Structure 1
C-alpha cells in the first residue's frame, strides 16, 4: 500500500510534470499543492500543512531557533538563481558602483536575510567590501505591502539597523521617491516595469556579471531545499 503524502512546491516549469501526473513518486500517493507566493508555501509548511515542502534555505536555518525544529532538509534544490540582477538603485542617488552602497538605506523584500537577499549581501561584502552594518535596512513588500513574517524567527546581527516599512508602504515606491537608496528584491519594482528613469539595476549588464561570478567561483547559488517533517523521516 502506497504512503499518502502532501507536498507543497511552487509551480515552476520544471515541476509541472509533478502536478499533471507525468512524473510520479514510487511507493507514494502524492498530493501536490502550490500557492501564489512561494513564501506562502514556506508559511504553510511551518504551520504543519505539508509532509514535505519546498522551503527557503534561510527559512530552514531559522527553524533551528525554534524550541522544536520541525524539519530535516533533503538535498534537492528546486530553485537556484544568481542574484546580481536583484539589486536596484535610485538613479538620482549617485550610486554607480557597489561601493557607493556604504552608508545608504537599502530595502529588502520580506525579512532581513531572506534567500534572495543573503547572497547579494555576501557578494557585496566579499567582493566589494560593503558589509551589512554599513547600511540601514528597511524590510517590506516590493510592489505590494507585506506584513512582518511572524511565523519564523528573525534574528538580526548585532550592529545592523533594521526596521519594517510602515503600513501601506511598498519598497518599490520608496525607492522611486528616494526614501530608500537601493533595494534587494527578486520582484522587479513597478517603476522598472513602467520604464521610469528613476530606478535602475545596480548591474545593468547583470547577465555578464553573473556569468563572470560563476566562472570565478563555481557557485550556482541555492535558494530552496525540500524540507521533510522529522517524524516522517
Structure 2
C-alpha cells in the first residue's frame, strides 16, 4: 500500500504562530476552514454562502501574503481587477492585523540584522535587503517575509521525518518512507502495518510542533496496491 501523510496548511499554521494573530490562531484552534473564513470577510457574506470561486480567491490571498504578493501579483493570479485585488489585500490585513504587523516587523528586523530566521533558529541571510536598487531590495523583502514561514514549515517536516524514521526502526517495521513533497510524506506500507502507522499519526501531530503554539493536523490517505 501507499500511505500519504499531508500536513494540512502547515505554512499558514506557521504564519499563525509567528504572527500570533488571534484570528488565525482561533481559526486553527476551532478547526475552521481558513480559506472560507477569509472569503467570508473579504466578500462580506456569511461563511455558509461562500462560493467555490470566492474560496479560491481567498486561498490565493492567504498564501499570497506568505509570498509577499502585491495587488498586481494577485490580479495576475486571479480574475480580480487591480482595484479589487488591492481592496482584498487591505481587507485581509483588516481581519488579521497582527499578520501585517509581523510582516512589517520582520522586514525591519531584516534591514537591521541582515537576516531572518525560522522558529528553530535557522537563518536566511539577505545582503540585498538594504540595496539602493528598488527591484533588488523588494525581492529581498519578499524573501524576508517568506523565509521564516516556509523555512519553519520545512524544519517541522524534517523533524517529522526523523521522528517517524526512528519510530519505524524502533518497532522493526517493514514500512519505508519513500519521499517528501513539500508538506506531504509518502510511505510504502505492508497491509499488516497500515493500522500501526495510522494510529501513530496522533503522537506525530502533537510531537512535531513542539516549538510552535499551533498544533498540526495530519491528513492520511491510503492507496491499495
If the length of structure 1 is used for normalisation, what is the TM-score?
Answer: 0.28
Higher helix share: 2
Higher strand share: 1
If the length of structure 2 is used for normalisation, what is the TM-score?
Answer: 0.28
Higher relative contact order (CA 8 A, sep 6+): 2
